[in-house]
Amino acid sequence: MADSVQPPGDADGPATDEPEPAAAAADVDLTELTIKERIALATAQQPALGLFLVLFSLFAFTFFIALALVYPTVAGLFIIVLLVTALIGSGLYFLLR
C-alpha cells in the first residue's frame, strides 16, 4: 500500500506549469547580462578562481602602496600611464561598439 503513494507531480508530469530548470536556463541569453551579473555568474561557477583574483588584486594593491612609499615619482607615473591607458581603452570601446 505504501508503494503506490506517489509524490505530487510524478503521475502526469509536473504539478505546476513552470518550465523545467534546464529549459529556463536555456532561455537566458548571456549577452543580456550586465558586467556585474557576468562577474557574479563566473564567480559562482568557479569560486576558487574568483578568490584567486581577489587575493591577487589585493597583493597588487599592497605592492603599489609600497612602491608609492619608496618611489612616489614612479608611482605617480604609473598612475598617469594607467589613466591614459584607461581613457584610450574606453574611447576605443565606445567608438567600436
Q: Enter the pTM of the model.
A: 0.46
User: Pseudo-torsion of CA 30, 35, 50, 45, nearest 10°?
Assistant: -20
User: What pLDDT digit, counting tens, does each position of 7-66 carry?
Assistant: 665 555 555 555 565 555 557 677 888 888 888 888 888 888 888 988 999 999 999 899
DSSP H helix total and E strand total for the chain: 4, 0
Compute the distance between CA of residue 77 and CA of residue 21 in angstroms, rounded to an integer: 51
DSSP letter assigned to residue 14 = -
Write out the three cell numbers for 17: 506549469
